[in-house]
Amino acid sequence: MLDAANFGGQKWNPSKMTDNQSDISIQMSSTNGLPSRKQSSQDPSVSRGTIVTFHNICYRVEVKSGFICCRKTADKEILKDIKLLDILAARKDPHGLSGDVLINGTPQPANFKCISGYVVQDDVVMGTLTVRENLQFSAALRLPTSVKEQEKEERIDQIIKELGLTKVADSKVGTQFIRGVSGGERKRTNIGMELITDPAVLFLDEPTTGLDASTANAVLLLLKRMSKQGKTIIFSIHQPRYSIFRLFDNLTLLAAGRMLYHGPAQNAIEYFKSIGYECEPYNNPADFFLDVINGDSTAVAASKADDVDLDNIEEHINRDKTLAENIAEHYSSSTYYRETKATLQNISLENKKKVKTIFRQVTYTTSFFHQLKWVLKRTFKNLIGNPQASIAQLCVTLFLGLVVGAIFFGIKDDFTGVQNRIGAMFFVTTNQCFSSISSIELFIVEKKIFIHEYISGYYRVSAYFISKLMADLIPMRTLPSIIFTCLKPRADAFFIMMFTIMMVSYTATAMALAIATGQDVVAVANLLMTITFVFMIIFSGLLVNLTSILSWLSWLQYLSIPRYGMTALQINEFTDLKLCTGITNTSQTDMNCTEVSQPGIMRPGLNAILGPTGSGKSSLLDILAARKDPHGLSGEILINGAPRPANFKCISGYVVQNDVVMGTLTVRENFEFSAALRLPSTVAEQEKKERVNQIIRELDLAKVADSKVGTLFIRGVSGGERKRTNIGMELITDPAVLFLDEPTTGLDASTANAVLLLLKRMSSQGKTIIFSLHQPRYSIFRLFDSLTLLAAGSLLYHGPAQNALQYFKSIGYECEPYNNPADFFLDIINGDSTAVTLSKSESVSQCNLSETIEEVGGDKTIAEKLAELFSSSPYYKETKAELERLSLENKRKMSADFQQITYSTSFFHQLKWVSRRTFKNLIYNPQSSMAQLCITTGLGVVVGAIFSGIKNDSSGIQNSFGFKPTIGAFFIMMVTLILVAHTASSMALAIATGQDIVTVANLLINICFVFMIIFSGLLVNLTSIESWLVWLNYFSIPRYGLTALQINEFTGLNFCQNANVTGVNVSCITSSPFTICTGEEYLKMQGIEVSAWGMWRNYVALLCMTLIFLTIAYLKLRFLKKFS
């Protein structure tokens, strides 16, 4: 039996249920469990299943407030975010729960969540495994070890056959990078994972999320057939189509925690009619119930009065917010409620003497080592099947190993050899530290899978933790340690270096896991790890001489992982190494085509384009709006019978599917920006402000006009207000034609109705509004003036929207009562989908379920048949005749071959306004402005404290860069750092411009910076590089900055005034003829030319590189595809 718990706002408010309906409990069973209603199963083939009841449910949590020293704790009844489904499935903390949840009249067993099934809303299958491998994993861990392997395999084969997954059983489920099975097959795999244990009760949270209409029908048909086998299936669903609603056996309607109806689903319409709410013909009952629950929403208001004033919409909704309470009171006095209450009181009396389960423990059917074996096997399969986390990283490590080996090959035993050795050690240790950041995703990416499987009793936490560690440490941390070994050509030195690098990698990985575990966002863990490693690198021993650190900061060195690795590697490398033998002085595209060949006329009014996914809706909309490449377009598009002007896309309006307003600005500021740049400069500022105020009033945005639109980190306006802001940006120019791509995407039912009512009112003022939609509700469909139906680029209907039902009836397709016309049309286009199949025959056999589901996708011949029927219809003939007349008038007019972009304002006016908006966005965006400034300030203070009191000795050479206490040196350092920052930023822009994925751009930029740092002159002495590699140092941005800073710092510096200190080995180099006493000698040893031109040529190089990179970025931006 199918029990649908339909949430009005998708959230359940248990406190209100207990306050106002303290005796209400819901009984869910295959026969509704209420014999007095005379609603016993009408189908004799239906087996009686498990009965789930709950009584007087209330959920409370402790809320802490105030400071730690005076913190107050209070109990609070949860008003939101607690789902009834989770409480019934024993997936909430039982310590906050009061009331009873009974299974067949007895308390829930302690391990109920392990023996029942729960399909979560988001998929929790491993995408790198096949369908069969996922089911095998579930069987191996959830079935007792007493069950033989042969029996498990038979159970898996049986489930694959029942779910219609035979053809894809050995196909990978699929990930972001691996093409896998379809959405419906993926959802059925999730269900199959839960069916392994043959649970009597199966819970599903929003089982149709992310599925198209046909696939959703197929999934619900599967659940329907399972329910007839005696299973109790309970699921939450928000807005089901009529073809899905008709499958429900039992329906529970909730609003704000109050029960509005609980009983047979097919009796719900009659019940609401009895209390004064009558469902209109062709209105989907589920949509109708939600309209009533939402307070007689804008769509229902429009049905009472066709002309609704937009200004009164919010007032109308607010006035009816107590409507849910009235409906709940009606239900409390209904026959359904009284009979349910009487039945549950008898159950409650029987349950009083039974022991209540307080703690819901997780039980396991297998041993720890059995779990470890299977989780480890799956983890290694996932690692091998995921090239982004395994093969790619190893290849990058191997490539870096070869390059670094070539750079440091043939190190000599002299001063440059010492510098190169230390540089190589520093690079290897820091590379291992930063490489360990990849382990951050180890527990974050699979967090949902882990939580679901752990709660369901798949494995112990210890088994999962150990298996993940083994799968990460061995291939991802151990192999790179071998690749980067070694410098000293001795066996013992080789193994010591390998062990040291391995320990550095293990320690850094352990720290990364400690920081990342429990985090939900990878970016936050990345930021914390990066900041931690930056401070560790400062105290590693290369950038700062640890003996010269102030005493109150010296303790920080003991927390540095690279320091221990560097120290061990230096001891291993420099022991028994002689540096004074032979010292010498050294010197310096595929294209996807969519054919859209159709005639049509879009008149003033609401012109809707409907069709399934891939039908060509967006392509047709973009072509009409001149947003497709005109060189691939044939045919004519006329505006009032004349050729479309070249700048049509600038004078018309186009609202894209995703919001494109600046979230850090207010609604008014976004409108002002649009007005300033899209209205001609001849329009006075006062007129522009009046235009902005007029649009704010028309769109009913006066209350939020000075509120920020909102971003991920800034709370802003609602979804409907945000969508209206997008529309207002386009209305600034008062376009005669307005295009909208999926204007209801991401909006709830009431907000979507409000947006379409706004568009309807605008169309009544003479605007031609053309938009694409996928699956509108009936309350939206009834607003359409014109309807265009597409399938695979073919025109199936084009004419008045209200005549569409009559047309399809004339060709043999009649819409059933209470079926939404839009859903009905999509069912026909999809090829007589599973929902229509069910209407023809309620009994769907088990053997042909897979065939029925697959036929949904093979509907090309039906689409062609419908297109042929329309081509001979009166609507098509009338349209074609009028278009031929317009075409004859247009023959002598010139056609615009190139759709150029025209601008209403000058370059400097645009620069002024774009700069103003950019700076406002920078100020109001803490992630890119204040946060970065605070981090920079903090680093400046810390670095200043670390390098304070630098002496003119050997440690001063190591520590000192840009700390000469003169005004001239200060400004030179400042200019140098600014130029380096600008050049690096311009290179990042040149790489990132045109990229769609931030991760790819970050990877390319990081690889470039790694090589630039190697050739900066700090890690490698540039004079000792092999001749065939030396050219790479000319592309290093840090090299030019570092060279300029060294010339600025060391010119005129004397190291021998107070002490005779030179290089690394004092006793040796002091007695040699190469003693370093002046800054000029040090610069000469580094191969740096000490002259005025020696410094300024670095600035010239940085400026040239900046101009080159910015030019590349501009050209890439300029010649980006202007057509989506």
- Any alpha helices (H) in 408-551, and if so which ranges? 415-435, 441-444, 447-455, 461-472, 479-483, 491-516, 522-538
Q: Is the pLDDT of residue 542 over 90?
A: no
How far, in Å, CA of 349 to CA of 346, rounded?
5
Scan for tokens 């053309």, then name that residue: 770
Output the six-digit token pair for 129. 């495994």
1061 confidence band (pLDDT: 50, 70, 90): very low
pLDDT, tens digit, 9 for 90 and up, residues 506-535: 888 888 888 888 777 777 777 777 778 877
Distances (CA, A) of 1103 to 976, 979, 1106, 1107, 1109: 11, 7, 5, 6, 10
Q: Residue 908 above 60 pLDDT?
A: yes
Tokens read off for 262: 């609980």
State the pLDDT at residue 650. Answer: 73
Return the bridge partners of 797, or none: 789
Tell me the pairing of strands 52-65 and 72-77: antiparallel
User: What's CA 607's distance to the chain center, in Å?
Assistant: 32
pLDDT-based confidence at 467, cuts 50/70/90?
Answer: confident
The pLDDT value recorded for residue 1062 is: 39
Q: What is the pLDDT of residue 323?
A: 76
Token pair in block for residue 825:
């049309």
In this prediction, residue 1060 carries a pLDDT of: 43
Sign of torsion over alpha carbons 154, 159, 164, 169? negative
Single-letter code of the amino acid located at 904: S
**Between 324 and 1123, the higher pLDDT residue:** 324
For residues 987 and 1105, is the Cβ–Cβ distance under 8 A?
yes
Q: What percent of the chain has pLDDT over 90?
A: 4
* pLDDT exceeds 80 at position 457: yes
Instruction: Please report, for the chain, the start and end positions of each structural domain, with discontinuous segments joined by +.
Output: 84-297+325-351, 368-574, 600-651+737-835+861-889, 950-1057+1073-1119
- Residue 1 contacts residue 45 (beta carbons within 8 Å): no
Confidence (pLDDT) at 302: 42
Q: Identify the three-state secondary structure at position 234.
A: strand
Eight-class DSSP state of 891? T
150 — pLDDT class (breaks 50, 70, 90):
very high
Structural fold of domain 84-297+325-351? Rossmann fold (3.40.50)
How many other C-beta atoms are found inside a 10 Å radius of the C-beta of residue 523? 11
Note the pLDDT of residue 638: 79
Residue keyed to tokens 């329907």: 224
8 A C-beta contact, residue 375 and residue 136: no
Residues 6+ apart with CB under 8 A from 417: 411, 579, 1024
Per-residue pLDDT at 321? 47
Tallying the residues shown for the chain, one arrives at: 1124
Q: Is 669 exposed, middle or buried (0-12, 13-18, 19+ CB in 10 A)?
A: buried
Beta bridge partners of 769: 606, 738
- Check pLDDT > 50 for residue 620: yes
H/E stretch holding 133: helix 131-142
Which pLDDT tens digit goes with each residue over 783-824? Answer: 999 998 888 778 888 888 888 888 888 888 888 888 888 888
Of the candidates 361, 344, 333, 355, the residue with the CA atom closest to the CA atom of residue 57: 344
Share of the chain above pLDDT 70, in %: 70
Domains 84-297+325-351 and 600-651+737-835+861-889 equal at CATH topology level: yes
Q: Given a cut of 60, is residue 447 above it in pLDDT?
A: yes
CA distance 1085 to 1074: 9
Average pLDDT over residues 639-644: 76
Predicted pLDDT at 776: 86
Number of H helices, E strands in the chain: 46, 19
Beta-carbon neighbour count of residue 550 at 10 Å?
A: 11
What confidence score (pLDDT) does residue 305 get?
Answer: 45
CB 295 within 8 A of CB 317: yes
Average of per-residue pLDDT across 378-387: 81
Distance CA 905, CA 810 (A): 54
Q: How far apart are CA 1049 and CA 973, in angstroms?
A: 9
Indicate whether 23 pLDDT > 60.
Answer: no
What residues contact 674, with CB distance under 8 A and at least 6 apart? 728, 729, 732
Looking up tokens 């947003």, which residue turns up?
A: 627
In terms of phi and psi (left: phi > 0; alpha: psi -120 to 50; beta: otherwise), the region of 202 is beta
pLDDT for the residue numbered 157: 93
Between 353 and 495, the more confident residue is 495
Q: What is the pLDDT of residues 106-140, one digit of tens each?
A: 887 877 877 788 988 888 888 889 999 999 999 99
**Who has greater pLDDT, 355 or 286?**
286
Please tell me the distance from the alpha carbon of residue 649 to that of residue 968, in angstroms, as a whole number. 55
Q: What is the pLDDT of residue 133?
A: 93
DSSP bridge pairs for 73: 64
Average of per-residue pLDDT across 992-1013: 72
Strand order in the sheet with 737-741: 653-655, 737-741, 768-773, 605-610, 786-791, 794-800
Residue 680 has pLDDT above 90, yes or no: no
Looking at 1.10.150.530, 3.40.190.10, 3.40.50.300, 3.40.50.720, the CATH number of the domain 600-651+737-835+861-889 comes to 3.40.50.300
> Which residues lie below 8 Å from residue 367, measured CB to CB, with a gap of 6+?
145
Burial of 33 (0-12, 13-18, 19+ CB in 10 A): buried
Of 42-46, 766-770, 971-975, the poorest mean pLDDT is in 42-46
